Amino acid sequence: MKRQPQSSAKLAAMLATAVCLLAPTAAVAAPTTIATLSKSTAVEAYGDVVAWSDYVTADRSWHIVVKRGSQISTLPSPTATKAIEFDVGPDARGVPTLAYVSCAGGCHVAISAIDGSNPQTVPDSTGASHPTIWGEHVAWVSDGTKVLVSRWDGSKRKALAGAPHRKCYYSSLDEAAGLICARPRSPSVDALQLAGRRLALVDTFILNDHVGAVGTTTEVRTEPIDGGGQRLVALLGVGEGDESWLGPSWSGGKLYFYEDSSGAGFVVYRFDPATGAYAKAPAFSYLTGFSVVGDSAYEATSPGDPGSGIECGSEAIPCVVRVSEPLALKRAKAPVHVP
C-alpha cells in the first residue's frame, strides 16, 4: 500500500474526524437540556416527574431535585454528604413517590411524597443501597449482594436472588478443560428497578475465565418478585473501554438499559420480556444516569468515563440533565458479548 504524503494523510484524518463528529448530529436531533449539574449524579423519571441528586454549594450538601411539569424544586430534605441514592415510582394509587436512602441515624430506606413531605422509614432496611419503588412494594440492595423486597411497612419481606452464586463458563486459555462452574468473586448488585411484580437488576462479578479485565463481567437480569428464576437479559465482559450497563429502566412493559463504553460503543437497548425481542438505538456520550419515559430518555451526562475521576466542568465540559428526542430503535440481537 502506498504511503500518503504527510499533508494528504493529515487532510484525510481531519475529514474522517469531521465525519465522525457530524454523524451523530445528522442522525439524531440534539437533546433538550433541563438543568446544569454541579457534580455527577443519577436521574430517575416516572410520568411527568424527573428527579436527580445535586450538590448545593451554599450548604455543602447533596439534595434531591425534582422537576414536575415545568417546575423545578430543590427539596430541603433529605440532605447528605454524598450523592443520594433514590428512585421515583408510583404508589398504590399511581401517585409519583420517592424512595431514597437516608443516613440520618443510620442509613436506611425512606419513602416520601414527591415534595419530600411525610417521610417514613422502611423497617429493617439498615445498610440499604439502590432503593426502588412501585405500588405497595419497595426493594433495595443489602450488604452489596443481597436483594430484599417488602411492603412499605416492612411486612411480606423476602430475599430475591440478587447477584449469581454460581456461574459456568469455558476457559479462553484452556479449551480442553471443558465447562467450568465456580462461585464468582467480588459479586455486587449495582442497580435495581421495579415495575409491577418484576424487578430488573445490574450485577457485576469476577470469574477466572481470562475474558475482559481480569475476568470482570457485568449483567442485566430480571426476576419476578413473587418467586421464580432469574432471566439473563444482557452480558458484557469488561475490557479496556470500562464497559458498563446503566439503568435499568422500565417503560410500557419493556426494559431499557444503556451501554456506557468507549470501547464497545454507546448504545440504548430495549428488551421485551413478553416476546424476547431486542431493539437498539445509537448513543454518543458517557452518562451517569439513564431513565426512559415513553419513547424518550432522561440522561445525566458525564464529561468523560465516569470511572476516570473527571469532574463536571473539567476542561469546560459541563454535566447536564437532558431529555433525548424519540429513540430511533431498530431490531437487534441479544447484547451478550465480550470486548
CB 170 within 8 A of CB 178: yes
Q: Which pLDDT does position 305 carry in this prediction?
A: 84
Share of the chain above pLDDT 90, in %: 66
**Per-residue pLDDT for 5 more than 70?**
no
Instruction: Taking residues 49-68, report their average pLDDT.
Output: 96
Q: What is the pLDDT of residue 304?
A: 85
> What's the mean per-residue pLDDT of the chain?
86
154 lies in some domain: yes
Helix (H, G, I), strand (E, B) or coil at 337: strand
List Cβ<8 Å contacts ≥24 apart for 73-79.
73/115, 75/115, 75/116, 76/116, 77/116, 77/119, 78/102, 78/104, 78/110, 78/116, 78/119
Answer whether residue 271 is part of any domain: yes
Question: Cell for 317?
Answer: 465540559
pLDDT (mean) for 174-201? 89
Q: What is the pLDDT of residues 101-152, one digit of tens each?
A: 999 878 899 999 999 999 999 999 999 999 999 999 999 999 888 999 999 9
1 within a domain of the structure (yes/no): no
Q: Which of 19-23, 39-43, 51-55, 171-175 has the lowest mean pLDDT?
A: 19-23
Element (H, E) at 54: strand 49-56
Q: How far apart are the first and last CA of the chain?
A: 29
CA distances from 204 to 123, 236, 244, 307 (A): 28, 9, 9, 15
Placement of cell 473527571 in the chain:
310
Residue 234 lies in a domain: yes
When divided into structural domains, the chain yields a total of: 1
Q: Is residue 326 part of a domain?
A: yes
Q: What pLDDT is attached to residue 227?
A: 85
How is residue 319 written as a grid cell? 454535566
Bridge-based pairing of strands 185-195 and 198-206 is antiparallel
pLDDT at residue 26, rounded to an integer = 43
Query: Please, which pLDDT band fits residue 242 given cuts at 50, 70 and 90?
Result: low
Query: Cell numbers at residue 150, please?
Result: 417488602
Domain that holds residue 125: 31-337
2 domain-assigned: no
The model's pLDDT over 247-277, given as tens digits with 9 standing for 90+, comes to 999 999 999 999 987 666 799 999 999 999 9
User: How do 336-337 and 231-237 pair as beta strands?
Assistant: parallel
**What is the distance between the alpha carbons of residues 171 and 90, in angstroms, rounded to a whole number?**
45
**Given this model, what pLDDT does residue 306 score?**
84
pLDDT at residue 65 is higher than 70:
yes
User: Is residue 79 situated within a structural domain?
Assistant: yes
Over the stretch 299-338, which tens digit does the pLDDT of each residue have?
999 988 887 788 888 778 899 999 999 999 999 999 986 5
CATH code: domain of residue 199: 2.120.10.30
253/248 Cα distance (integer angstroms): 13
Q: Is residue 11 part of a domain?
A: no
